[in-house]
Structure 1
Amino acid sequence: MAALLLLVYLLPPPPSGKKRAVKMTVREALSHIVRFHKSCRNLQETTSSVHGKQPYILAVGTSRRIINDYYIVVDSHFIPCKAKSSISAFDELFKAHYVFGICYDQALHNMYTFVQTTIYNIDVGLCHESPRVKDLRAKLFN
């Protein structure tokens, strides 16, 4: 999971402009992918403070190092992940975008596009890629 989260640092949110959304820091972008929830608290408390329709991973455990369960949260609904590892939870998160027909979060568009074209080989050459995504893939394969 650390390698996937590193992609957010390598492919940061795009700069904001007049027509784009407010600039988001890398730390805020990371919270759009995965959030931690202590298992002793109520799950509904976590989603009540989140505004937005983008799916994210909710990691539930006694500490950030000891995660017992993963959920994909979409529109405040919990979808339990079958797998018990963080990488499998990200796999389910990525696939949730396709199953529910959800566009990528604007701040994470570069990271998701890289994963889509480089790891899953979906729409390579057909989807719009930023120069940063193309450059990172070229460095990875050369």
Structure 2
Amino acid sequence: MVNQKAIHELFYNPISNTGYLVNKIKNINVKRHKCDGTYGQSKSIKLSQSLDVTIENIVLEQEDKEFFDNCLAVEQEEAIKERLLKTLEARKNILKKSIDIFKEFKFFTFNSNLILYDFSIRYPGTEQLFLNQWKNYANVAKEIFVELFEEKSIKEIGDWNQEISSFLLLLRMLPSTSQGPKSREKKRSNFENSIPKLIKFEHLNTPRENYDLSEKQPHIIAVGANKQAVSQYLIVFDKTILPCASTYNFCQIFDLYFKIFYVFNIEFDYS
């Protein structure tokens, strides 16, 4: 029998208030409030507003704005990190406005290390939680799934490699966010439709200019000879391919993918 504490923490860790699936739970609550008529009675709160305490009157100084506009993302990485720390509160306020974040801070599109750093100064002490803890859960993901569903249902995951399959098993175990009873077939169909919103496959011989970049929401691209032999992972965000270390495994690329939602205050796709 799988340890029940491990199952619980797989979805949400109440001690650290962390967990990648907690955001899906928020989406479920939104759907529920819409159903019972209570949605909209309280102000909608975005991720950065709910997790950050900001000082409203702090703005980005002209000197800092000019630096961000003209800096070299790779060559001046350390200088940019210092400026990111200095301007943290001002940038939190900027994120509350509907702006093109890549236009405002274009250096992020050239160096994903800066995204990881920005997350670390926003949420200090949490930046390594997932990478450190996932290995404890990856090996039991399949066992948990088999306990909840029939083993033959694993074929719904597709022919991805073992590392990716572990994540997709978790995605399949998420509760439905739509209202009303659902047939098993409809739940399966919705799950299969949700996979491309997380990850897509591109053959290694396909030129990057031919990749499908139409999605505005962040998603991962797995590049390789086939889904079992992935050689590199990329992240597409706002129709832009972000630079990612060629040595990243799927766990590392998913960690970066998730942090993008927090750094840029992006709302998850409800579906």
- Common fold: TM-score over 0.5: yes
* Aligned residue in 1 for 2:249: 85
RMSD: 2.1
Determine which of 207, 223, 226 is the counterpart of 1:42: 207
Q: What does residue 227 of structure 2 align with?
A: 64
Tell me the matched-pair count.
100
* C-alpha distance in 2 between matches for 1:84 and 1:62: 17
Query: How far has the Cα of 1:103 moved from its partner?
Result: 0.8
Shift of 1:81: 2.2
Structure 1 stretches of 4+ with a deviation exceeding 3 A read none
1:116 corresponding residue in structure 2: none
Residue 103 (1) aligns with residue 239 (2): no
**CA separation in 1, counterparts of 2:222 and 2:179?**
30
Letter in 1 for 2:174: L
Give me the whole-angstrom Cα distance separating, in 2, the residues matched to 1:3 and 1:63. 17
SS in 2 for 1:90: helix
SS of alignment partner, residue 226 of structure 2: coil
Q: Assess if the C-alpha contact under 8 Å between 1:54 and 1:74 holds in 2.
A: yes
Match of 1:8 among 156, 159, 171: 171
Rounded to whole Å, the distance in 2 between the matches of 1:31 and 1:13 is: 17
Q: Unaligned 5+ residue runs, structure 2?
A: 1-163, 181-186
Partner of 2:216: 53
Q: Paired residue for 2:198?
A: 33
Q: Is the 8 A contact 1:57 1:93 kept in 2?
A: yes
Q: What is the aligned-residue identity percentage?
A: 30
Query: Residues 12 and 40 from structure 1, CA distance in 2 versus in 1: closer, same or farther, beyond 3 angstroms?
Result: farther
C-alpha deviation, 1:44, in angstroms: 2.7
Deviation of 1:12 (Å): 4.6
Please tell me whether residue 75 in structure 1 is matched to residue 252 in structure 2.
Answer: no
CA distance in 1, matches of 2:172, 2:262: 24
Rg larger in 1 or in 2?
A: 2
TM-score (norm 2): 0.34
Q: Which whole-Å CA distance do the structure 2 matches of 1:12 and 1:60 have between them?
A: 29
Residue 94 in structure 1 maps to residue 258 in structure 2: yes
State the alpha-carbon separation in 1 of the partners of residues 270 and 200 from structure 2: 18
Structure with the bigger percentage of helix: 2
| C-alpha separation in 2, matches of 1:102 and 1:16 | 24
Would the alpha carbon gap of residues 13 and 55 (structure 1) be closer, same or farther in structure 2, given more than 3 Å must change? farther
Residue-by-residue CA offset, 1:27-65 (whole Å, 9 max, x unaligned): 1101100101001112232225x3x32100011111111
